[in-house]
Amino acid sequence: MNRIARLALPAALVIATSMLAACHQKEEVSKEETATLIAPVAQVALAGSAPAAGAAVPAGKVDVKHVFDTVCSACHATGAAGAPKVGDKAAWGPRVAQGKDALYHSALNGKNAMPAKGGNPSLSDAEVKAVVDYFIAQAK
């Protein structure tokens, strides 16, 4: 009996150790898997924040449609909050008559129910101005 115990103990230790090792390895694999699984999302998030870093949108090139669709359209496509609708010449005529700089100023700093930068401070001045240019072009 004693002899069996002396043989069995080391064997049990070996088994236990290799099980621990296997567990440890498994954990590392699943960490790697997790990194692989979230990578696309992480890259998309990086791409989304890239304009500030200048990677996704080259300097001087603004995706007007994207900025309009994601920020300005909430009010300027629908007329919500009394916003002048894009393409509504009657609503834009008197505003355009104030001059481009006045419109830039309102869009960047806000005016009445119009929040500064459409409520998205992460937009660059160039992005906001590009949409204002688009509004002016659509009002002609």
Asked if residue 96 lies in contact with residue 139, where contact means CB atoms within 8 angstroms, the answer is yes
Q: Does 75 bind ligand HEC (CB under 6 A)?
A: yes
* Among the listed residues 106, 116, 126, 138, the single contact to ligand HEC using CB under 6 A: 106
Query: Residue 112: left if φ>0, alpha if ψ -120 to 50, beta else—which one?
Result: left
Strand partners, 114: 111
Pick between residue 55 and residue 81 the one whose CB is nearest to ligand HEC: 81
Q: Rounded to whole angstroms, how far apart are CA atoms 98 and 86?
A: 17
Q: Does 51 bind ligand HEC (CB under 6 A)?
A: no
Contacts with ligand HEC, residue ranges (CB under 6 A): 67, 71-72, 74-76, 80-84, 95, 102-103, 106-107, 111-115, 117-119, 123, 128, 131-132, 135
